[in-house]
Amino acid sequence: MFEKLLAPGRIGKMELRNHVLMSPTETHFTSPDGMINWAEIDYYVERAKGGAALITTHQMQGNTKIDPIDPYPRSARFDDDCFIPMLTELTEAVHNEGAKISALASPGGGAQALGMPYDAGTLEDIPNVAPGDIECPVAQRKVRKLTVEEIKKSVEVFGKGCGRLKRSGFDAITIHAHCGYLIAEFLSPYFNNRDDEYGGSLENRARFLLELVASCRENVGPNMPIIVRLAMDEFIGDAGRCLPETIELCKMLESAGVDALDCGAGLFQTMALISPPVYYEKGFMADMTAEIKKAVSIPVITQGRLQDPEVAEKVLEDGKADFVSMGRAWIAEPEWVNKVACGDLDGMRRCISCDHCIGDRIASGNQTLRCTLNAMAGREHRFPYGYPKAADKKKVVVIGAGPAGLEAAYRLALRGHDVDLYDKADKLCGGEQIVAASTPPCKDNLMNVRKFYETQFGRMDNVTLHLGREITKETVSELKGDAVVLATGAIPIAPPIPGLRDNPKVVTAIDVLAHGAPVEGKVVIAGGGQVGVETAHWLAEKGFKDVAVVEMMSELSIDGELMTKLSLHPLLEEAGVKSYVSHQIRSINEDSVTVYDMNGDREFNIEADTVVNALGKKPLADLEEPLKEQFCQYYVIGDARGRSNICTGIEQGFITALKI
Ligand SMILES: Cc1cc2nc3c(=O)[nH]c(=O)nc-3n(C[C@H](O)[C@H](O)[C@H](O)COP(=O)(O)OP(=O)(O)OC[C@H]3O[C@@H](n4cnc5c(N)ncnc54)[C@H](O)[C@@H]3O)c2cc1C
Ligand SMILES: Cc1cc2nc3c(=O)[nH]c(=O)nc-3n(C[C@H](O)[C@H](O)[C@H](O)COP(=O)(O)O)c2cc1C
Ligand code: SF4
């Protein structure tokens, strides 16, 4: 099983222990001046230990004098010898675990850069540099067109930097022509409006990249593999670079001595494609990669939702690519290859493509890397000896086997405590919230949460499951232990809107999604947060033709993760779901809902046969008082503590277990 994934491979002269690579993932740990540090080294080392054949670092800047803006807060640098010591620490540490490492080398962030200038610490009067004078519609920063002299200098300095990377112990250089940064902009007909030898025809647009390849080769010698990472299609229609042109480009790169092509898709304007959320099929980029593979004879690497070993193996088996590379699969499951190799498929944390790591943390939040499922991700450096054992063994009661309670129970057991886990549902993750959450289209992978904990508990002899056991105020006294963790989740709220309560035509989203409550005719969904929007999506897929979402805020799923929103909202539009943002529900009537248009200052009715209440939730923590009286150590986590989600629930379970 998984022969293709696990077979040794080779890129150029670089031997690889298997066919599973790790794609670049920013961590935001690098220091503001571009110095790699131990937090990220430890992050990479865990993935090297876990069996990755080749780790590609996050973006590193090779020329900050000509492109002085950090593409995103805290990318690394390689344009000075002062970076060599820490880069060497990184490569040595990864080599010690048997993996190879490639540097994602970039000459700059271009028009799309969103960080600060490395030196000045302020953006004042420093425009982004770009191939032409086109601003990036996402970054919306002023740009300055590079002169030919600067381009030549940039090529020279970049090459010297690649030599420095080689001296720092890297096994390969991955030239970063992906994600819409500077090289990608030169390649892009959208961004590159130069009329000299670096603009116009594909040959001219590719010149910068080809010169960088040559300069890199000159400095790293004939044996070090050079990989080019690029988008196969920018997905901005005819304005951008599309697959047929990329195929030509790939042939040019092969002729220029490039050893492998690392193929992704998209640029900032189409950023959801870069880390595709659940609404993209698993492995959907492989067919495009296959087209490139047909045109070249160097290895091609594919990526994009390949987190399931079955899917990844099939891509290789079908000959669509030579290697698979994964970003999020490694964040969620640092032991990905090791677990595949020993057949522990159920014991893997399978990434759910929620994009919390990239959308919430890195892109929108300017925060360090975290993962919904794996609370250790981004914290490896804080646990050099793993999750710690407790000094004294205790007996701990956990109430609620949703994500929060499950993680608490799992971590408590890892610490060596005896855990009694109670849930009124008859299975783990059997509560109505998580069942509802995994019901809308493409959301079934949330049940990966159950699979992981079920498997782990099956291997532990210190977790006792008490399923189908509701704890009530009356039965609390039967619980015995040194500490208790309350993780009973939340229940929907019903604000005092006339007609909302005790109305047979009003159902909650939970009723609909988890309990199959009947919905008929024209549907108005009250509340356009994640729950309302996903319920609308589900209803539209079920064939409901008249679904309207009413939301007080100015945008649907305003707090939702960026990539997911960018993908889901167009699907809702396509399905004809009507959206009333900046509208407030005033009352629910016999056959309509009265709404108030907050911008237009007017009231009107929307016809409704069913109203779905998706107006929010409140903690279900009514056991708090009796538990406090009975246990000296008492904790509330997850939705029971306050507004939360799977990520915060798991994180609180992880952190709380450390306190007991
Ligand atoms: C439609 C929808 C979509 C969602 N999508 C996402 C998403 O994509 N990503 C995300 O992060 N979050 C999502 N959420 C939110 C997410 O489901 C919750 O935040 C998460 O489940 C909370 O975890 P928890 O463990 O705190 O509580 P819960 O998952 O609610 O678990 C609580 C558990 O406690 C049990 N319980 C309650 N009372 C008792 C009692 N007295 N005795 C014994 N057992 C008891 C319940 O049976 C349940 O199993 C979504 C929610 C909905 C409704
Ligand atoms: C947190 C995070 C950070 C990323 N950072 C980078 C980056 O610095 N450079 C890059 O080219 N791609 C980056 N990516 C994209 C990934 O390398 C990968 O191509 C993408 O996530 C699709 O693969 P996956 O489905 O296996 O995650 C990042 C992705 C994530 C999730
Ligand atoms: S945060 Fe979500 S998308 Fe990112 S690695 Fe973790 S599970 Fe996957």
Find out if CATH 3.50.50.60 is the number for domain 395-492+619-658. no
Question: Span 3-382: which CATH code?
Answer: 3.20.20.70
Does 181 qualify as catalytic in the annotation? Answer: yes
CATH 3.40.50.720 placement within the chain: 395-492+619-658
Distance 145 CA to ligand 1 centre (A): 51
Q: What kind and span of H or E run contains 506?
A: strand 506-508
Using the 8-state DSSP alphabet, how is residue 119 labeled? T
pTM of the predicted structure, to 2 decimals: 0.97
Q: Please identify which of the residues 118, 181, 410, 580 carries the catalytic annotation.
A: 181
For the segment 516-574, what is each residue's pLDDT rounded down to a tens digit? Answer: 999 999 999 999 999 999 999 999 999 999 999 999 999 999 889 999 999 999 999 99
Ligand 1 and 404: CB distance under 6 A: yes
For the segment 161-193, what is each residue's pLDDT rounded down to a tens digit? Answer: 999 999 999 999 999 999 999 999 999 999 999
Q: What residues are paired with 490 via a beta bridge?
A: 619
Distance 417 CA to ligand 1 centre (A): 24
For the beta carbon of residue 115, count every other beta carbon within 10 angstroms. 18
Find out if CATH 3.30.365.10 is the number for domain 506-615. no
Distance 215 CA to ligand 3 centre (A): 37
Asked whether the beta carbons of 435 and 428 are under 8 A apart, the reply is no
Amino acid in the structure at residue 435: V
Q: Tell me how far apart the alpha carbons of residues 96 and 277 are, in angstroms, rounded to a whole number.
A: 34
Asked whether the beta carbons of 108 and 182 are under 8 A apart, the reply is yes
CATH 3.50.50.60 placement within the chain: 506-615
Residue nearest to atom 1 of ligand 2 (CA): 358
End-to-end CA distance of the chain: 41
Distance 154 CA to ligand 2 centre (A): 25
Average pLDDT of span 482-492: 97
Distance 616 CA to ligand 1 centre (A): 13
Q: Tell me how far apart the alpha carbons of residues 396 and 409 are, in angstroms, rounded to a whole number.
A: 8
CATH 3.20.20.70 placement within the chain: 3-382
What confidence score (pLDDT) does residue 362 get?
87
Looking at every residue in the chain, the average pLDDT score rounds to 96
Determine which of 81-95, 116-130, 168-182, 212-226 has the lowest per-residue pLDDT on average: 116-130
Average pLDDT of span 58-65: 94
Ligand 3 binding residues, C-beta < 6 A: 328, 331-332, 351-357, 371-373
* Coil, helix or strand at residue 243: helix
The ligand whose atoms approach the alpha carbon of 401 most closely is 1
Ligand 1 and 152: CB distance under 6 A: no
Residue nearest to atom 7 of ligand 3 (CA): 351
Cα–Cα distances (Å) from 424 to 193, 457, 639, 652, in that order, read 63, 18, 16, 21
Q: Tell me how far apart the alpha carbons of residues 251 and 492 are, in angstroms, rounded to a whole number.
A: 57
Ligand 2 binding residues, C-beta < 6 A: 23-26, 58-59, 104, 178-179, 229, 264, 274-275, 303-306, 326-329, 357-358, 362, 369
